[in-house]
Amino acid sequence: MELVRWEREPALRRPLLVVAFEGWNDAGDASSLALSYLAQAWQAERFATIDAEEFYDFTVTRPNVRLSDAGHREIVWPDIELLGAGVPGSNHDLVLVRGVEPQLKWRTFAQALVEVATKVGAELAVILGALLADVPHTRPVRVSGTTDDRDLADRLGLAAPTYEGPTGIVGVLHDALRRGGIPTASFWAAVPHYVHQLPSPKAALALVERSAALLGAPVDPMELRTAARQYEREVTERIADDEDAAAYVAQLEESADADWTDPGVPGSLRLGNIDELASEVEKFLREHPRRD
């Protein structure tokens, strides 16, 4: 069975692979929202899908039924999409991977994605995620970055991963891509745990800004900025009605303000670092040509 269904072979310049999955790694829908925004901003077009039959438990991720224009019932299956985007002003184009985190055969899935990355000539893979944390909604979103590559970590101010325990598809993909000769990094946005049920355009905005900076390409996420301000206002109004919650958020704000004065937190991608990301990535890729 053919796992990857190619619709066309995209013509891309030294592409970077950017991946985000809905589900366990997507607190506040932040990473999937960020990837969809990047796809929209750079008019990404689908060039392939990964067949869902092998990788989804359809009692968990269910297909949908819809009516066609002719009034017939159609089943829409939850395939994983691969999109290509030309990025004006950058040395690199993008391959975007989006969909629900697969539930089955992760090693097979990861290998299929490695083969796609190899075929299109991806030079670097960036996996976006979001996690629940003890952070206030009123402060800048902390985006942390990790990589197994020591040189890339030094250049971008990333941290080596130290987590041990259950992992998701992100961990499996990192391992498979590294073994396939493609360097990888992860950007993780912290989402306030006390409003976990709300989508977080504010965290998505932070991931979009870092991803765009990595490419050295301008993007103006005006819609996300507007949504982020509205999100902050709505959460503040909710918190104001609960004295205990307001006191708790005030404690988080005090802690965040104290931590933000720390000049060097490993793995923390702060706004001051963004302009340096693209040039450092370019130097890294020149010095570490991809192994075919």
Dihedral of the CA atoms 228, 234, 240, 243 (nearest 10)?
A: -80
pLDDT (tens digit, 0 to 9) for every residue of the chain, 292 residues total?
Answer: 689 999 999 999 999 999 999 988 899 999 999 999 999 999 999 999 998 889 999 898 888 999 888 888 998 888 899 999 999 888 899 999 999 999 999 999 999 999 999 999 999 999 999 999 999 999 999 998 888 888 888 888 788 877 788 888 888 999 999 999 999 999 999 999 999 889 999 999 999 998 888 888 878 899 999 999 999 999 999 998 888 999 999 999 988 888 754 444 445 554 445 667 788 888 888 887 765 5
The beta strand positions in the chain, using DSSP E, are 4-6, 16-22, 45-50, 64-67, 73-76, 80-85, 94-100, 124-133, 143-146, 184-192
Confirm whether 16 is domain-assigned.
yes
- Which of these, 138, 262, 278, lies nearest to 211 by C-alpha position? 278
Q: Measured between alpha carbons, how far is residue 47 from residues 12, 52, 82 in Å?
A: 11, 16, 6
Confirm whether 292 is domain-assigned.
no
Q: State how far the Cα of 171 lies from the Cα of 169, in Å rounded to an integer.
A: 5
CATH of the domain at 163: 3.40.50.10900
Whole-number pLDDT of residue 260: 57
Confirm whether 174 is domain-assigned.
yes
Q: Which domain holds residue 110?
A: 4-287
Dihedral of the CA atoms 88, 90, 91, 96 (nearest 10)?
A: -80
What value, to the nearest 5°, has the Cα angle with vertex 257 and ends 213 and 158?
Answer: 35
14 in the Ramachandran plot: left (φ > 0), alpha (ψ -120 to 50) or beta?
Answer: left
Whole-number pLDDT of residue 190: 94
Whole-number pLDDT of residue 197: 87
Confirm whether 242 is domain-assigned.
yes
45-50 and 4-6 as β-strands: parallel, antiparallel, unpaired? antiparallel
Q: State how far the Cα of 101 lies from the Cα of 170, in Å rounded to an integer.
A: 9
The structural domain count of the chain equals: 1
Confirm whether 95 is domain-assigned.
yes
Residue pair 195/207 in contact (Cβ under 8 Å)? The answer is no
Confirm whether 189 is domain-assigned.
yes
Q: Which helix (H) or strand (E) holds 247?
A: helix 243-260
Confirm whether 256 is domain-assigned.
yes
Whole-number pLDDT of residue 266: 46
Q: State how far the Cα of 285 lies from the Cα of 272, in Å rounded to an integer.
A: 22
